[in-house]
């Protein structure tokens, strides 16, 4: 049992709230990804995950049924602040963050979290939204989507969030925008996992925001083994069925073995040069053959990171009488 777990003895299980903002196709998978991280980081001393979403965002009937069964709205969250909060991002739909459909709900949530929750973990677009809201720093579009597993450099191994991490760690990235690391440092953020030789950008940063310790994830430590492959397949499908309206995606870097890369590049050549119908091409996408070759290199780092984060949250819990 870790030091955090020993110090948690006598405390009640930690309450972790997840606000799931992901698009319809990734909504349930995202819930499972963060549930797995909370379980991995709970270190056997107990954590319960509570599910919330912005109920005002339109959803298809099937997903609305899932939400009615398992999720609560933000009004329920206001009435019952958790010990720790996770806010997911969502796939960018607008050039300007302030124009995203979730922006007004997200900003109210972030302002509330800063005064009501001991610690808040923000993923991807939610992290960028927080930086824009509190610091006025705009995200910067990348010329090419950043997708893959990249080596990040731990800024300070004595940082409580970095406890137990190696100096260099693998971490998934998947995004089309960045907030530059220099701008983060100038604004007073602490970089927990920064960019490495790949220049993928910082992965994890943190700063006290009001009464809450905000942990911002530009990387995706929560990703499952096949998450990047599933996103790549989605982007390939958009190319095929969008009549070339979107560019053909690059194969995720640092994620696949050489044979898997060759297989996907062969399909890419065929998809971009063939005059076959999209349906016919799509049937040949080598998902299963690629999936069996993928090894998850980042799971140990992710479990340690979440254990450290939840450990910090546990220190705020009262000792049972």
**In the chain, what's the furthest Cα-to-Cα distance?**
72
Residue from 306, 6, 11 nearest 164 by CA = 306
**DSSP character string of 166-213:** -SEEEEEEEEEEE--HHHHHHTTPEEEEE--TT-----EEEEEETTEE
Q: Which of 31, 100, 181, 222 is catalytic?
A: 222
The answer to whether 111 is a known catalytic residue is no
Residue among 102, 173, 217, 220 flagged as catalytic = 220
CA angle 105, 111, 115 (to 5 degrees): 140
Query: Tokens in use for 83?
Result: 């010990």
**CA-closest candidate to residue 294, choices 223, 225, 232, 219:** 225
The set of residues, in sequence order, having a beta carbon less than 8 Å from that of 99 and lying 6+ positions away, is none
Report the distance separating Cα 51 and Cα 19, nearest Å.
Answer: 6
Assigned token pair, 46? 């107990």
Q: Which helix (H) or strand (E) holds 299?
A: helix 299-314
- Residue pair 142/178 in contact (Cβ under 8 Å)? The answer is yes
Select which of 31, 102, 124, 146 is catalytic: 124
Is-catalytic flag, 124? yes
- The DSSP element (H or E) to which 51 belongs, if any, is strand 47-52
Residue 146 annotated as catalytic: no
Task: Please give the positions annotated as active site.
Answer: 124, 220, 222
């Amino acid at each position: 049992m870790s030091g955090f777990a020993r110090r948690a003895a006598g405390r009640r299980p930690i309450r972790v709230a997840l606000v799931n903002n992901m698009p319809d196709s990734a909504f349930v998978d995202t819930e499972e990804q963060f549930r797995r991280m909370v379980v991995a980081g709970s270190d056997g001393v107990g954590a319960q995950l509570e599910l919330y979403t912005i109920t005002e965002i339109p959803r298809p009937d099937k997903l609305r049924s899932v939400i009615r069964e398992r999720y609560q709205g933000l009004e329920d969250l206001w009435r019952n602040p958790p010990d720790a909060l996770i806010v997911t991002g969502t796939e960018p739909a607008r050039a300007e963050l302030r124009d995203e459909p979730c922006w007004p709900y997200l900003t109210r949530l972030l302002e509330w979290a800063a005064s009501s929750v001991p610690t808040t973990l923000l993923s991807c677009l939610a992290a960028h939204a927080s930086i824009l809201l509190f610091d006025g720093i705009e995200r910067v579009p990348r010329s090419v989507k950043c997708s893959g597993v990249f080596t990040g450099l731990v800024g300070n191994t004595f940082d409580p969030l970095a406890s137990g991490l190696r100096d260099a760690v693998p971490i998934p990235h998947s995004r089309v925008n960045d907030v530059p690391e220099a701008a983060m440092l100038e604004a007073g953020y602490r970089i927990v996992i920064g960019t490495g030789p790949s220049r993928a950008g910082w992965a994890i940063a943190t700063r006290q925001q009001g009464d809450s310790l905000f942990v911002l994830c530009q990387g995706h430590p929560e990703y499952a083994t096949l998450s990047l492959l599933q996103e790549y397949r989605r982007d390939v499908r958009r190319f095929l069925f969008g009549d070339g309206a979107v560019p053909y995606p690059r194969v995720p870097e640092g994620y696949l073995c050489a044979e898997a890369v060759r297989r996907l590049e062969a399909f890419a050549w065929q998809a971009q040069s063939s005059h076959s119908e999209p349906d016919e091409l799509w049937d040949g996408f080598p998902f299963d053959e690629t999936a069996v070759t993928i090894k998850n290199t980042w799971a140990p780092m992710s479990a340690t990171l979440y254990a450290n984060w939840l450990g910090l949250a546990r220190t705020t819990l009262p000792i049972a009488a």
